[in-house]
């Protein structure tokens, strides 16, 4: 018979999922390439509706030509547009990048601000981008990053019924310890790419079948909860699974 679902409160379920995510993806890190806070800000703006893999192909040349906020603020906008064209929505992204860097230069002394309130003043920056920059550039957990993977899996795991990312973030902040807000998102994104993808979730390979109200129980093995994916999945394992399933890392 298939393993029964555990009867836990929503908070207990969230904490159990968090503990398993840490075991499954212990080496999960931000997959965008950057060296400075402003480079992370730019890369995160470019990642909207674009894979991280594509962004990482674009940014080396972009950052070689424009390494800091001052260079991007004073650049020819058309030059930025041409260099980010392959990321999609390139004209708006280029305008936002330059607008953000100009504001950084004029209002923040050339430094990326380190508060949510200040970051949200920058063109092209909403809470998702601000959370990524604060957490990975400055080690500040100001909120929970909610992208398409986090939204999809949070719904499937029954942790929220909200559709608006800000409201989803608010729900998750109530369920998770603040030090884990950002690593929750990174690890959930990894799981969304490797196992719980949008079109065909691989419930038979998932370690959350006893916690997930959306699981397709017809796909589960009838023996035990010992599933093909090891509980101590490494970063390398994650990408190997993604390649096997023809799911390129995003």
| Bigger pLDDT: 35 vs 7 | 35
Residue 98 has pLDDT above 60, yes or no: yes
Question: Average model confidence (pLDDT) for the chain?
Answer: 88
pLDDT of residue 1: 46
**Distance of alpha carbon 149 from alpha carbon 223, whole angstroms:** 30
pLDDT of residue 237: 45
Q: What is the per-residue pLDDT across 21-59, written as a single tens digit (0 to 9) for each?
A: 999 999 999 999 999 999 999 999 999 999 999 999 999
Please state the rounded mean pLDDT for residues 178-207. 94
Q: Evaluate if pTM is beyond 0.85.
A: no
**13 contact partners, CB below 8 Å, separation of at least 6:** 6, 157, 158, 159, 211
Please state the rounded mean pLDDT for residues 172-184. 97
**Distance of alpha carbon 212 from alpha carbon 155, whole angstroms:** 10
**79 contact partners, CB below 8 Å, separation of at least 6:** 65
CATH for the stretch 10-29+145-244: 1.10.1670.10
Domain positions in the chain:
10-29+145-244, 37-138
pLDDT of residue 216: 82
**Distance of alpha carbon 215 from alpha carbon 213, whole angstroms:** 6
Residue 249 has pLDDT above 80, yes or no: no
Under the banding of pLDDT at 50, 70 and 90, the label for residue 218 is: confident
Q: Do domains 10-29+145-244 and 37-138 have the same CATH topology?
A: no
Residue 4 has pLDDT above 90, yes or no: no
CATH superfamily to which 37-138 belongs = Hypothetical protein; domain 2 (1.10.340.30)
Share above pLDDT 70 across residues of the chain, in percent, rounded to a whole number: 85
Q: What is the per-residue pLDDT across 110-119, written as a single tens digit (0 to 9) for each?
A: 999 999 999 9
Catalytic residue positions, numbered: 128, 147
pLDDT of residue 6: 67
Please state the rounded mean pLDDT for residues 57-76. 98
Under the banding of pLDDT at 50, 70 and 90, the label for residue 243 is: very low
Please state the rounded mean pLDDT for residues 63-82. 98
**Distance of alpha carbon 221 from alpha carbon 174, whole angstroms:** 34
pLDDT of residue 7: 81
Under the banding of pLDDT at 50, 70 and 90, the label for residue 206 is: very high
Share above pLDDT 90 across residues of the chain, in percent, rounded to a whole number: 82
| Bigger pLDDT: 190 vs 216 | 190
Please state the rounded mean pLDDT for residues 201-211. 94
Written in H, E and C, the secondary structure of the chain is CCCCCCCCCHHHHHHHHHHHHHHHCCCCCCCCCCCCHHHHHHHHHHCCCCCHHHHHHHHHHHHHHCCCHHHHHCCCHHHHHHHHHHHCCHHHHHHHHHHHHHHHHHHCCCCCCCCHHHHCCCCCCCHHHHHHHHHHHHCCCCCCCCCHHHHHHHHHCCCCCCCCHHHHHHHHHHHCCHHHHHHHHHHHHHHHHHCCCCCCCCHHHCCCCCCCCCCCHHHCCCCCCCCCCCCCCCHHHHHHHHHHCCCCCC
**Distance of alpha carbon 66 from alpha carbon 76, whole angstroms:** 11
Residue 209 has pLDDT above 90, yes or no: yes
pLDDT of residue 66: 98
């Amino acid at each position: 018979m298939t393993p029964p679902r555990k009867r836990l409160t929503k908070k207990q379920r969230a904490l159990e999922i968090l503990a398993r995510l840490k075991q499954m993806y212990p080496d999960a890190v931000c997959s965008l390439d950057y060296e400075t806070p402003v480079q992370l800000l730019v890369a995160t703006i470019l990642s909207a509706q674009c894979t991280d893999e594509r962004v990482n192909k674009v940014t080396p040349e972009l950052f070689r030509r424009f390494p800091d906020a001052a260079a991007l603020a004073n650049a020819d906008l058309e030059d930025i547009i041409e260099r980010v064209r392959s990321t999609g929505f390139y004209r708006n992204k280029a305008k936002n990048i330059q607008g953000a860097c100009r504001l950084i230069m004029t209002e923040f002394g050339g430094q990326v601000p380190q508060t949510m309130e200040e970051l949200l003043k920058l063109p092209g920056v909403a809470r998702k981008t601000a959370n990524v920059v604060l957490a990975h550039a400055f080690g500040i957990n100001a909120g929970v990053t909610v992208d398409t993977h986090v939204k999809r899996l949070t719904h499937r795991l029954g942790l929220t019924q909200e559709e608006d990312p800000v409201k989803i973030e608010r729900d998750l902040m109530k369920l998770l310890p603040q030090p884990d807000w950002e690593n929750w998102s990174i690890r959930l994104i990894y799981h969304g790419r490797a196992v719980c993808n949008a079109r065909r979730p691989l419930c038979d390979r998932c370690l959350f079948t006893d916690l997930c109200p959306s699981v397709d129980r017809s796909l589960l093995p009838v023996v035990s909860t010992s599933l093909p994916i090891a509980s101590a999945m490494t970063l390398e394992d994650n990408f190997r699974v993604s390649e096997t399933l023809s799911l390129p890392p995003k």
